[in-house]
Structure 1
Amino acid sequence: MCTPRPAAASELVMFERKGCVYCQRFEETVAPIYGRTDEGRRAPLRRVDVSDGMPGDIALAAPVRFSPTFVLVDHGREIGRITGYASDEAFWGLLGALTDKLAPDRP
């Protein structure tokens, strides 16, 4: 039996859909290196298929309507989101602005 895992202190939740071309572009350009970046270590990537419904452990500010949508979550609450994926440059810039909203890491 699989139980839902609780939201991490900080995580980047990627809401995706099977057959999504922009999700595939993210998969090819960003996903292979994401976990090795400062952002990836600070907010690990979690994937949610929108067809499976919304996870109950995240308080979203608004419904997710498009894929991909990246929601930065801290302690189960949405901090901000990136709707869509245009390019890796745009993604990293937008993600940097979002992660600046997180509380500083504590030792």
Structure 2
Amino acid sequence: MLPLGVRAAPPSGWRLMMVESPACHHCRAWHAQIGPGYATSAAGRAAPILHVDVDGPYPDGLALARRPWITPTFVLLSDGSEAGRIEGYVGQRYFYPVLEEMMRGAGLTLGA
């Protein structure tokens, strides 16, 4: 997570922004179950993860449909603009299928 008070530049390219909270049980589950392998997955290579605390700060220049308030929320970003959103953690079994469907729907091609 970004420490409070640190502002990042708007993300370029495709990114997956995970909005989370230290008190969030489902966020901790995602970190334990998905986090270790996300960067090497097809989805992780296509859209590297960007962690943001639900209370901010958010990177400058984001264009979101609305401010996330459920943790975790996964926002697919294309050059800083929201291209899709998953609110909540659907569990280890369904995370990648739901994420990859959202990515394909947004026009993001996943490699093998």
Question: TM above 0.5, one fold?
Answer: yes
Percentage of identical aligned residues:
32
Inter-partner Cα distance in structure 2 for 1:7 and 1:24:
24
Contact residue 89 and residue 95 of structure 2 kept, 8 A: yes
Deviation at 1:89, TM superposition (A): 1.8
SS at match of 1:26: helix
Give the aligned partner of residue 35 of structure 1.
Answer: 39
Contact residue 22 and residue 86 of structure 1 kept, 8 A: no
Q: Where in structure 2 are the equivalents of 1:1-107 lying within 5 Å? A: 4-100=8-104, 101-104=106-109
Inter-partner Cα distance in structure 1 for 2:24 and 2:100:
24
RMSD: 1.7
Q: TM-score, normalised by structure 2?
A: 0.84
Deviation at 1:6, TM superposition (A): 2.7
Deviation at 1:55, TM superposition (A): 2.8
Inter-partner Cα distance in structure 1 for 2:27 and 2:108:
28
Which 4+ stretches in 1 moved above 3 angstroms? none
Number of equivalent positions:
104
Gaps of 5+ in 1: none
For 2:67, give the aligned amino acid.
P
Inter-partner Cα distance in structure 2 for 1:72 and 1:84:
14
Deviation at 1:63, TM superposition (A): 1.8
Which shifted more, 96-105 or 34-43? 96-105
Contact residue 7 and residue 60 of structure 2 kept, 8 A: no
Inter-partner Cα distance in structure 2 for 1:71 and 1:3:
18
Gaps of 5+ in 2: 1-5
